[in-house]
Structure 1
Amino acid sequence: MSKPDFFPTKTQPLLVRLVQSIAYWVGRFKYQLRLRVSEVDLGKIRALGDARIVFMPNHPTFDDGLVMFLLSAQLGEIFNYLVAYENFTDQLAGFLQKSGCYSIRRGVGDRRSIAHTLELLKQERSRMVIFPEGGCSFQNDAIVPFRTGAIQLPMQAMQAITKQEGAFPPCYLVPISIKYRYLKAPETIIQRSLQNLEEKLQITPATTDPYQRLRGVAEVVLQQLETEYQLTPDPDDDWNGRIKQIRNSALNLCETQLNLSFPDDFPLRERVYKMQALLIEKASGEPSLGLENDEILYQTTVRLLNFDAIYDGYVGAYPSHERFIDTLTRLEREVFRVEIPKPKGLHEGWIRVGKPLNLQDYGAQYQGDRQGTILQLTEAMQYEVQNNLLDMIYHP
């Protein structure tokens, strides 16, 4: 039986309430994760009453969906979640749908998902979770640019209601900043991860300094990638120049093999999502002689997303335990070929709720300048999320 192109929500409130009642224990013991959110931040959400709400969290890890579910349990609310199509496996699809999730096929203009989003947003007391980065950034306190579609869809839904009812209803965009902190022996986690990587790469560290050991691992990974893509780095290039060259080579390989081309200013993530959609479509069709090559190409697209936002200086600028672990996790994904590494230890997902923004206040402006208004609101959401993340570094 072929996999459906779209998985709509099939929310079962009783099941959601049951799972919410045990969510703390599941998070704590299965995922080694718990939520930390203040009553002040919860109060910002509760103060919005029955108005429609679209939560817009950053997306640093694969744990973020669970963090938002734990938030829903704290609030006693049932959320809908826009979730990447790839997560709807045979084992998980039914549970995800019954829990309020529905699929989005990134890179293909998923009309059924868009229509379903608009339908859900039009419902009274709608509670929607959309990750505006479009995918994991793998960075604990930095974000990648927000996609305008996350704002466009709620505005479009409210415009449709306005045409039907003659009045623009309240609908709040709520910026959510998620940041993780490790609670037990983060130094031990870092040492263990470094040791595992060094053993795999056959590195004998010349120092006990964790940061220098991290750079030693990263240097070997860079060299291996340069060898794979037959690159000779310019002696004058710093690490960021070398990373960019590797990224471009991987991107060019995929585009050439798939016979695709994009404008120079087309964002990397959007290119990758389109390539992944094409590869998934090919894999779901008749088996071909190129199946093994397609798998290699797909793994290359995973590599591109893994290293999309990485840069030299991320750890050095602020050598927190979490930034160390962010970078080590990226390296583990590359070296051990694992998409989702196992939890490294007990950690908290800290939530900071930013200033809610009511789309109702921008209805008239949108009529006069649709593109400009959406861009303005997107930038405002992105700024609020990023600013709160930075504030959480110094004022936890």
Structure 2
Amino acid sequence: MAPETTLFFPPKQKPLLIRLVQSVSYLVLQRLYQCGLVVSEDDVAKLRAMAGTRVVYVCNHPTMEDGMVLFSLAARVGQLWHYVVAKESFRGFQGRFLQWMGCYSIRRGLGDRASIAQTLSLLKTPQAQVVIFPEGGCSYQNGTVMPFRPGAIQMPLQVIAQLTKQDPNTDLYVVPISLKYRYTQPMTAIIEDTLQGLEQALGIMAAEAGEPRTFYSRLLAIAGRVLARLETEYGLANQPEQDWNPRIDRLRNHVIARCEQQLDLPSNGTTIRERVYKIQALLETEEPKTIAEDDALYWTTVRLLNFDAIYDGYVADDPTPERFLDTLMRLEREVYQVEHIQPKAHRQAIFRVGEPINLKHYVADFRRDKAGTVGQLTEQLRQGVQTNLI
């Protein structure tokens, strides 16, 4: 893998082209992404009321299709937004097209100064509207929200603290947006086919799912086999008598430490997800030892992200078809060694828009206690997004 020479891709927004693409975004969403947009008129009105103001929209990130879905929401509202997008998406014509649509890149894991500077610059303009996924990456979970990265709040607070020195009445809003997908057809047959495919690939016999042989018992048998295989692959003793969550945590921590050791990286005590992003960023910019070694290490990071937010009980807590398939698709990525699994059927992308927060009311708190104010607002927004996941 050759090192990447272009470190930042700025937005090159082309308003007329964006309007043209927006005009067909509904059809593209339906035909290519098997998805329909659902948003109430009240929530559309909330978003339209933000026209002409500085706004940061923060949204959870459950699937790889969320960018197109957010773009379609902007089309529904009739606005032009900027989007912070992972740098690896900016390849070839796709990368140029993303820039024309108002997207700009971020290198996760290394502290991307160019991307941060771009965000700060945009937010200083009077009508900036920027979309950020504060989870930092795709969670692959339809019903729960991962911890938010503080930068999504720290950057707009930094800007409003500067702007209010000249004009105390300056507004800068943060708006939480919740996104959840729902299949529009019965999914029993698709779940059955997915279970059968995984059972066949793993050599699991019917008796191993226990009695009664339910979808959930079969899911547990598949997940148990995958977990045991991973433990063996990475040199860990199988402990089937132990609860799953400690086994999963042990495996994740062992694998990330092994990756860091391979690259001579110190563990900085941050989350596994942040540590994975740092490794991926280094793989893009540094000369590899060998192509095979580099590719193997990259695939290990993909596996870590796939299982980063998984825990025992995600399905049992709320056994919807969506949660079943969230988990089954994670297992498919691992078993079939595929980075991206296509949606299983047509879905609705359901949006709920929370109440806008005007950051000018937090400037005094921010000046007095930067870390405390950022932490409070970050968690407030995360909880708001989670609460609105209907």
Which TM bucket (shorter chain)? over 0.9
For the residues of structure 2 that align with 1:323 and 1:307, how far apart are their CA atoms? Answer: 14
CA displacement at 1:327 relative to structure 2: 0.2
| Distance (Å, rounded) in 2 between the aligned partners of 1:289 and 1:381 | 42
In the alignment, the residues of structure 1 paired with residue 5 and residue 367 of structure 2 have an alpha-carbon distance, to the nearest angstrom, of: 40
1:56 alignment partner, one of 47, 50, 58: 58
Which runs of 5 or more structure 1 residues have no equivalent in the other structure?
Answer: none
Q: Please give the alpha-carbon distance, in whole angstroms, between the structure 2 residues aligned to 1:386 and 1:166.
A: 34
What amino acid is the match of 2:340? I
Amino acid of the residue matched to residue 321 of structure 2? Answer: H
Equivalent pairs: percent with the same residue? 51
Within 5 Å, give how 1:169-184 maps onto structure 2: 169-184=170-185
Correspondence for 2:262: 257
Aligned partner of 1:346 in structure 2 is: 346
Paired position in structure 2 for 1:314: 314
Distance 1:49 1:100 in 2: 17
Q: Which residue of 2 aligns with 1:66?
A: 68
Kept in 2: contact 1:52–1:121 (CA 8 A): yes
Asked whether the 8 Å contact 2:333–2:339 carries over to 1, the reply is yes
1:192 aligns to what? Answer: 193
Aligned equivalent of 1:280: 284
The code of the aligned residue for 2:278 comes to: K
Change (3 A) 1:101 1:93: same
8 Å CA contact retained: 1:175, 1:353: yes
Return closer, same or farther for 1:292/1:352 CA change in 2, 3 Å cut-off. same
Alpha-carbon separation, structure 1, partners of 2:227 and 2:101: 41
Report if aligned partners of 1:161, 1:168 keep a CA contact under 8 Å in 2.
no
1:324 paired residue number: 324
- Distance in structure 1 (CA, Å) of the matches to 2:190 and 2:161: 50
C-alpha RMSD of the superposition: 1.6
Secondary structure class of the residue paired with 1:178: strand
Contact 1:197/1:335 (8 A) holds in 2: yes
Correspondence 1:127-138 to 2 at 5 A: 127-138=129-140
User: Quick one: structure 1 residues 21 and 373, their matched pair in 2 at CA, closer, same or farther if it must change by over 3 Å?
Assistant: same
Task: Say which of 108, 111, 132 aligns to 1:109.
Answer: 111
Alignment of 1:300-311 (within 5 A): 300-311=300-311
SS in structure 2 at match of 1:344: coil
Q: C-alpha separation between the residues in 2 aligned to 1:53 and 1:140?
A: 25
- Match 1:210 to one of 197, 215, 229: 215
Q: How does 1:19-58 map to 2 (within 5 A)?
A: 19-58=21-60
Structure-2 residue corresponding to 1:242: 247
Deviations 1:205-259 (A, max 9, x none): 3365211111111111111101101211345411112211211221121011111
Equivalent position of 2:237 in the other structure: 232
* CA deviation profile, 1:122-171 (whole Å, cap 9, x unmatched): 122111100111011111110111111000111122233334x3335111
Judge conservation of contact 1:82–1:103 (CA < 8 Å) in 2: yes
Q: What is the rounded CA distance, in whole Å, between the counterparts of 1:32 and 1:204 in structure 2? A: 33
Paired with 2:164 and 2:289, the residues of 1 have a C-alpha distance of 53
2:21, 2:190 → 1: CA distance? 30
* Post-superposition CA distance 1:89-147 (Å, at most 9, x none): 11310100000100000111111111111111112211110011101111111011111
- Distance in 1 between residues matched to 2:110 and 2:51, nearest whole Å: 36
Greater displacement, 92-101 / 239-248: 239-248
Alignment of 1:376 with 2:381, yes or no, is no
Task: After TM superposition, list the pairs within 5 Å mapping 1:78-157 onto structure 2.
Answer: 78-157=80-159
CA distance in 2, matches of 1:168, 1:104: 31
C-alpha offsets along residues 351-382 of structure 1, whole Å, 9 cap, x if unaligned?
11111110011112211111111111111101
User: For 1:156, what is the secondary structure of its paired residue?
Assistant: helix
Q: Shift in Å at residue 203 of structure 1?
A: 2.1
CA distance, structure 2, for counterparts of residue 41 and residue 349 of structure 1: 14
Normalised by the length of structure 1, the TM-score is 0.93
TM-score, normalised on structure 2?
0.95
Amino acid paired to 1:192 = D
Which residue identity lines up with residue 342 of structure 2 in the other structure? Answer: K
What are the superposed Cα offsets for residues 163-212 of structure 1, whole Å, 9 maximum, x if unpaired? Answer: 4x333511111011111100123212212211221222222333652111
Count of aligned pairs between the two proteins: 384
Aligned to 2:366: 366
Give the Å deviation of 1:329: 1.1
Q: Is the 8 A contact 1:159 1:168 kept in 2?
A: no
Residue 289 of structure 1 and its aligned partner are, at CA, apart by 4.4
Rounded to whole Å, the distance in 2 between the matches of 1:179 and 1:235 is 34
- The answer (yes or no) to whether the contact 1:118–1:157 under 8 Å persists in 2 is yes
Query: Using the alignment, how far apart are the partners of 1:89 and 1:46 within structure 2?
Result: 32
Classify 1:67/1:331 alpha carbon distance in 2 versus 1 (closer, same or farther; 3 Å).
same
